Amino acid sequence: MAKHLSALEREQIFKYLNERKNLNEIARLLSRDRKSIVMEIKRNRYFIHKGSFGMAKVYCQKATDRTCVKKDVCPHCPTRNKYCWTCQKCVRYCDDYIKAVCEQITASPYCCNACPKDSSCTLARYRYSPLTAQKSYEKRLVETRKGISLNEKQLDDIGRIINEGSKKGQSINHIVAANRDRLPCSSRTIYSLVRKNLVGVSLFDLPRTVQRRQRNAKKSGHKVDQACRQGRTYQDFLDFKGKHPELDHVQMDTVEGVQEDVKCFLSLSFPHLQLSLFFLLERQTAYHVKSFFYWLYKEIGEENFKKLFPLALTDRGSEFTDPESIEHLGTKIFYCDAMASHQKGHVENQNGLFRRIVPKKHHIDGLEFEDSFLINSHLASYIKKSLNQKTPYELLSLLYGEELCRALRLKHIPANEVLLKPQLLQGKLKRKHYET
């Protein structure tokens, strides 16, 4: 079945709504998920607010209920002897104003089609029309394919790398091949960016320009190794674990701030220790993930690294698509199936605990790498019922020794001083400002 609804399906939705069928019935008749029908109606319904014969628009709920007994609220009221609800012009001045909302648009079916009161209703409401819905869908389909998926900081990074290479007479293909773990996109995308003059490099700066058709769709991430998942699937992971049950594994993920940020946190979760460590990366790329693991290998030593990282299970993000560079250190990497985050459920749950300190919709570009150690110390000192009221720090030090804790920059925080709030970072987090 097609992913998008067709014009015929929109006609059928309109027909079933007018027949007063509920959304569950409509979803079943169209063999679609109910959520798809709800999103279709909410996204493509159109707004109506008008009066009827002898009645003005209604804005206030008290006007609908006829419970308002106020008079002469407006500074220049033309009808001082009548109740305010009769004219509805007082909403800007009245302190008791309550916005009138029809229940039919806030709950199923989210529109007023086939409503018996539609012809006389004076409340704000919505209707669903297949023609309007199809036009809205086609317009949205075009708009989503415009522009680029890279932010200004990413464009600056790309421009700096391309400019350095072009000054040496290198081609785009050579520059991309030499910096594939630092660039977030392919050479084809970079040619498009150069043609649009978005990276500070013009076509005349290149030794040879290849004419390419512009792409409509752009991928969010650039894979270093396109075949990295061969022999590293989740089934391969289960088979390997079956043959080596004595090996523990670590689950990996990345946690982002807001869309404009370039930094991210690398999340390392150890289910057998109930321990999660979060480290700030300067960029969400395979290069920075690799650089971190080489730093960690040097800090904790080869023996401890092999004990902590015999196996690693991660998702299919582009930042994890250079497994060979990490496997050289002695670990083995596997990938979850697509859209199957439950296969690494421990790290997903621990990310929720991390969000108490670094909530969503907050900028993290103001944080430094050393802030990771403070966050990890408080998370590792958090008492857990699953550890018989012990902390992950205590279990780690018991099994691997205090020396490893010190190498990981972990400090034991007294139980009453553990802080899992944004205040831990002393104002370094900035909430994203939304323009209105």
Q: In sequence order, what are the residues at sequence separation of 6 or more whose Cβ sits closer than 8 angstroms to the Cβ of residue 65?
A: none
Please state, in angstroms and rounded to a whole number, the distance separating the CA atoms of residues 269 and 254: 11
pLDDT at 147: 62
Question: Which tokens belong to 48?
Answer: 């109506």
What φ, ψ does residue 276 adopt, rounded to 5°? -130, 135
pLDDT at 436: 39
Question: Which tokens belong to 53?
Answer: 């014969």
Question: Which tokens belong to 325?
Answer: 């560079």
> Is residue 145 a contact partner of residue 218, using CB atoms and an 8 Å limit?
no
3-state class of 220 per DSSP? coil
Nearest to 269 by CA among 346, 213, 199, 192: 346
pLDDT at 206: 67
> Is residue 75 a contact partner of residue 89, using CB atoms and an 8 Å limit?
no
> Is residue 290 a contact partner of residue 326, using CB atoms and an 8 Å limit?
yes
Is omega for the bond preceding 414 within 30 degrees of 0, making it cis?
no
Please state, in angstroms and rounded to a whole number, the distance separating the CA atoms of residues 354 and 349: 9
Please state, in angstroms and rounded to a whole number, the distance separating the CA atoms of residues 433 and 327: 41
Tally the C-alpha atoms within 13 A of residue 282's C-alpha that lie toward its C-beta: 7
Question: Which tokens belong to 375?
Answer: 């966050």
Strand 46-48 relative to strand 125-127: parallel, antiparallel, unpaired?
Answer: antiparallel
Please state, in angstroms and rounded to a whole number, the distance separating the CA atoms of residues 129 and 137: 12
pLDDT at 95: 73
Strand 332-335 relative to strand 311-314: parallel, antiparallel, unpaired?
Answer: parallel
> Is residue 183 a contact partner of residue 164, using CB atoms and an 8 Å limit?
no
What φ, ψ does residue 224 adopt, rounded to 5°? -70, -45
User: Which helix (H) or strand (E) segment is 281 a member of?
Assistant: strand 275-281
User: Which helix (H) or strand (E) segment is 47 a member of?
Assistant: strand 46-48
User: Angle at which helices 7-18 and 130-143 pack, to 10 degrees?
Assistant: 140
CATH fold of 234-431:
Nucleotidyltransferase; domain 5 (3.30.420)
pLDDT at 210: 47
Task: Identify the residue whose tokens are 């609804």.
Answer: 5
Task: Identify the residue whose tokens are 């391969």.
Answer: 236
3-state class of 189 per DSSP? helix
pLDDT at 408: 94
Please state, in angstroms and rounded to a whole number, the distance separating the CA atoms of residues 188 and 182: 16
Q: Show pLDDT as tens, one digit a residue, over the chain (436 residues).
A: 567 889 899 999 999 988 888 889 999 999 999 999 999 998 888 888 877 666 667 777 777 777 777 777 777 777 767 777 667 666 767 777 777 777 777 888 888 888 887 777 778 888 899 899 999 888 888 877 666 667 778 888 888 888 887 776 677 777 887 787 888 888 888 888 888 877 777 776 665 554 445 455 444 567 777 888 899 999 999 999 999 999 999 999 999 988 888 899 999 999 999 999 999 999 999 999 999 999 999 999 999 999 999 999 999 988 999 999 999 999 999 999 998 989 999 999 889 889 989 998 899 998 999 999 999 999 999 988 888 888 999 999 999 999 999 999 999 998 888 888 888 998 888 887 654 3
**Where in the chain are all domains bearing CATH 3.30.420.10?**
234-431
Residue 317 vs residues 99, 220, 226, 254: alpha-carbon distances, Å: 45, 10, 12, 9
